[in-house]
Amino acid sequence: MEWVEDVFYGAVTKGVNDTTVGVFKAACLACIASLAVLLYICWNNYPELITHCVFALTLSIFLYAIMFWFLNEIGTVSPAEQRAELFGDQKVTVEGKPADTATAATPKASQAKKVE
């Protein structure tokens, strides 16, 4: 259930993570599929609603396309970076995963400078 936490972090912090994008994509595709089924049902049974169904389907496809273009332009943030922003006490490595705080706080011997 870690993906639920990732979606929550994507909702309450800056940026968007890949998990939130995946959930949003699934919701948009489900909306498009349900509108396509509605159009199919209206095609033979309710011809007066075809215009409305086509408009709603076109609108949802356009919304899907424009949102994912926008998300492509701004990029995504890792969930670890969002956790660090939310809680403020975690170190984040270059890969986006939380670093071990015990090893991240102590410099290596080769990096330590002597103070005279």
Q: Which residue has the higher pLDDT, 94 or 31?
A: 31
21: nearest Cα among 31, 6, 36: 6
- Compute the distance between CA of residue 79 and CA of residue 75 in angstroms, rounded to an integer: 13
**Between 12 and 113, residue with greater pLDDT:** 12
How far is C-alpha 64 from the geometric centre of its chain's CA atoms? 14
- Determine contact, residues 6/34, Cβ cutoff 8 Å: no
Instruction: Please state the pTM of the whole predicted model.
Output: 0.66
Percentage of the chain with pLDDT > 90?
A: 34
